Structures are given as C-alpha cells and as structure tokens.
Amino acid sequence: MSERQINVCLSPALLPFFDLSNTIAVVIDIFRATSSICHGLANGATAIIPVAEVEECLAYRDQGFLLAAERDGRVVEGFDFGNSPFSYAAEHVKGKTVVLTTTNGTRAIQLCRQAKHIVVGAFGNIDTLSDWLGNRDEHVLLVCSGWKNHANLEDTVFAGAMVARLRNASTVLDDAARLALGLYETNAEDLPGFLRDASHAERMQRLDISRDIEFCLQENTSPSLPYFQDGRLVDYLREEPS
C-alpha cells in the first residue's frame, strides 16, 4: 500500500459514510469508557464485553461476570459499577470478565463491527497504541464516540494526538484529521486546561467525579491494547488474537 489513509470520524452518526474495509477502527471515548477499558485490561481483567444496551448487559447476570452500566455519567442502579476508571483497579477486575454498557463508547464499538480490526484508544495507552498502529499498513479511522451523536472536544483532541504520532510523508489525511491535528497542536501544552470547559467535563464536574477527568488525561497509565474479537475486548499484548 503506497498511501495510507488516516481519517477521523467526529461522531458515530457519520460512520455510514466511511468505508471500513482494510481499515483499523480506533474507538475513542476519553471521558470515560475507553479510558476505563484500557485500565481494566492493564489491571488483569480477562476480557471486557461491550454491549450497546442495558438490557443486553442484564442478559449476562447469571454467567458469573461483573456487570457495569453507565447512562448520562451515572451508574445504572442494580449494577456492580459504571465506567469510572477507579472501578477497574486490579483488586476489582483481575482475572474477571466485565460486561459493559455506556452512553456512547460501547455503542461506537458495536457500530464499527465491519472494520478489519477494532481497537480502543485513550491517553492511558497512547504510546502502546501508536506503536502498534505504526507497525501496520492498513488505513486508520479514528472514531470519536462523542456525546449522543454530537462531536466533543476530548475525543477530537485525542484523535489529533494520534494523527500527530502516525502521520508521515506517505500518509493521506482527510479534513477531519487535519482539524483534529490542529486542535491538538494548538492545545498540547495544556490539555487539562483546554478541556476544563468541555461540555462533558462540566457534566462530570457537576456529578463530583472531577478526579476521573484528571486520570483520563494522564498518558501511559494503562499500557494495554484492547482488541475486539468474537464479541470481546482482550489485551492484544497478552493474548494475540488469531
């Protein structure tokens, strides 16, 4: 492949307009689903099963899995936990399978199922992810989960950070990738300050979960590579899929 495309999908609502063949879809939901998924697998979770709906998550109740559900930033009543990264510490998840549904991130994963590969990205695994992508030749689509089909700042700026790491003389960027790159380069020196006024950050602050925001913006805290296969996310670094 002479030219590698690196594209950015600013909202899951735009996914039908992208060709996912020969493409690695990188799903991004910085606040907080993909940050927590990376953290959970880095802390020894056997697998994380992403499902779109609460009812799908409940269907696993009698299988011995941990059930995690979040809607509008809050834990859904009756579930073990939601999508705070602090719920995915080793003492909670090591050796266990978690079934997870969230407002945006797990839905975006399901919508990418036609891609050649699906992986999950967050600041916590940014170097691990960029190294892996840099050693492959498929096209890359950075999929921002956004907020209820709207674009958001935190996912877009992370997409820009990935474009900055992956671009070279033989890559072709679409306009959304250039937009994300410009947003990242303009604000790279103080991402926490830039994202403090992001709509979802403000929503999380109202829910008194500001420490989650701080954690989700730290780089390389969760060196895992969540890879989607057979309906589950596993750590490619521990269990290279077939």
Q: H-type helices in the chain, by residue range? A: 33-42, 54-58, 90-93, 105-111, 126-134, 153-166, 175-187, 191-195, 199-206, 210-216
Domains and CATH numbers, the chain: 4-223 (3.90.1560.10)
pLDDT tens sequence across 81-140:
988 999 999 999 999 999 999 999 999 999 999 999 999 999 999 999 999 999 999 999
Whole-number Å distance between alpha carbons of 125 and 6: 19
If 0-12 CB within 10 Å is exposed, 13-18 middle and 19+ buried, where does residue 235 land? buried
pLDDT tens sequence across 14-71:
999 999 999 999 999 999 999 999 999 999 999 999 999 999 999 999 999 999 999 9
pTM of the predicted structure, to 2 decimals: 0.94
